[in-house]
Amino acid sequence: MPQFAANLSLMYTELPFLDRFEAAARDGFEAVEYLFPYAWEPAALAARLRAHGLRQVLFNAPPAGLDRAAMAGAWDAGERGTAALPGREAEFRAGVLEALRYAEALDCPRIHVMAGILPSGQEREALKGLCAGNLRWAAEQAGARGREVLIEPINLRDMPRYFVNRQDHAHELLDAVDSPHLKVQMDLYHCQIVEGDVATKLRRYLPTGRVAHIQVAGVPERHEPDRGELYYPYLFELIDALGYAGWVGCEYRPAAGTSAGLGWRDRALAARPAQA
Ligand SMILES: O=C(O)C(=O)[C@H](O)CO
Ligand SMILES: [Mg+2]
């Protein structure tokens, strides 16, 4: 059965951010992911991880900005990455280097690097080469530090004009970059909204070894995985059967309260086949 990581940006939001680590550990999580660490010093975050026996398994590079102040305000200003955006190469590089600095301090093996919102009047086709070039540079930087860069297909309802929407968009970029340090973050919530046929996509892409992180949520409300149109017990069994050994991030907005809503996870773990 997959190993689950708590997403501290969407879960435990009733608590101040730094208190969410303890809450996740108390609920039995051994790993965490979240959007951004940059409002805190790496040492403060590393101390929380250590104190609660947690591993950091994923976070995002800054969405834009050349310096810490600009990076901090970028998400709220609507920025969603710069990998595919013309004229933003300096920000892209600054963000990747800042993320890798944190990844090292937090011993986090991978960072999610976002591609950006397609500028009006531009077609994604025309920006694929630029995006691949930026990602190639980022993958080289990450590889030199023993880390991986991930890209994630995201649905257009939540993020209009986001550059990477389908699994084949992401895999096409991986083909172009051709680096073992660039991988895919496969979020089954986005996959169901954009493409459907989720089990077939898992069967197609997990055996490639290119999927380094999976995320889950119910569809369409992005609540617990046992709410909505996807039947996760089947998908978890399939993910196991396909030999996926990575983390599954719980990237959902709890409807039942974070701890009270973990029944789906406990049932999934209880259904795990006995280890030989
Ligand atoms: O929104 C998601 O699904 C993510 O995983 C990102 O990291 C943030 O957009
Ligand atoms: Mg996601």
Q: Does the residue 276 lie in any domain?
A: no
Which residue, judged by its Cα, is nearest atom 8 of ligand 1? 35
What residue has token string 């694929």?
Answer: 128
Instruction: State in Å: Cα 273 to ligand 1 middle.
Output: 30
User: What would the two tokens of residue 49 be?
Assistant: 């991880």
Q: Is 229 a catalytic residue?
A: no
CA distances from 219 to 67, 224, 225, 256 (A): 36, 9, 8, 15
| 127 Cβ contact partners less than 8 Å away, ≥ 6 residues apart | 84, 85, 86, 118, 163
> Is 22 part of the annotated catalytic residue set?
no
Is 264 a domain residue? yes
- To test the pocket of ligand 1, the residue of 215, 222, 250, 252 to mutate (highest count of ligand atoms within 8 Å of its CB) is 215
Instruction: Give the distance (Å) from ligand 1 centre to CA of residue 176.
Output: 23
User: 159: exposed, middle or buried (C-beta count within 10 Å: 0-12, 13-18, 19+)?
Assistant: middle
Among candidates 112, 8, 118, 2, which has minimal Cα distance to 54? 8
Query: What's the burial of 253, exposed, middle or buried (CB within 10 Å: 0-12/13-18/19+)?
Result: middle
Tell whether 96 is covered by a domain: yes
The answer to whether 102 and 108 have CB atoms below 8 angstroms apart is yes
Question: Which atom of ligand 1 has the smallest separation from the CA of 190?
Answer: 3
Q: Indicate the SS3 state at residue 227.
A: coil
**Which ligand 1 atom is nearest residue 185's CA?**
5
> Quick one: pLDDT at residue 238?
97
pLDDT tens by residue, the chain, 276 residues: 689 999 999 999 999 999 999 999 999 999 999 999 999 999 999 999 999 999 999 999 999 999 999 999 999 999 999 999 999 999 999 999 999 999 999 999 999 999 999 999 999 999 999 999 999 999 999 999 999 999 999 999 999 999 999 999 999 999 999 999 999 999 999 999 999 999 999 999 999 999 999 999 999 999 999 999 999 999 999 999 999 999 999 999 999 899 999 999 999 999 876 554
121: CATH: 3.20.20.150
Closest CA to 187 of 220, 167, 214: 214
Catalytic hit among 79, 91, 152, 224: 152
Q: How far is the CA of 98 from the centre of ligand 1 (A)?
A: 18
The range of the structural domain enclosing residue 160 comes to 3-270
Domain assignment of residue 275, yes or no: no
Residues 88 and 132 sit within 8 Å (Cβ to Cβ): no
Cα–Cα distances in Å, from 110 out to 28, 134, 142, 188? 22, 17, 8, 19
Separation of alpha carbons 95 and 91, rounded Å? 6
Residue 187 belongs to a domain: yes
> From the CB of 181, is ligand 1 less than 6 Å away?
no
Is residue 151, in this structure, part of any structural domain at all?
yes
- Is the distance from the beta carbon of residue 152 to the nearest atom of ligand 1 less than 6 Å? yes
* Alpha-carbon span 211 to 184, nearest angstrom: 5
Q: Does the beta carbon of 251 sit less than 6 angstroms from any atom of ligand 1?
A: yes
- Closest ligand 1 atom, residue 158 Cα: 1
pLDDT number for residue 256: 84
Any domain includes 25? yes
Q: Is residue 189, in this structure, part of any structural domain at all?
A: yes
Predicted TM-score of the model (pTM): 0.97
Overall number of domains in the chain: 1
The protein residues having their C-beta less than 5 angstroms from ligand 2 (an ion) are 187, 215, 251
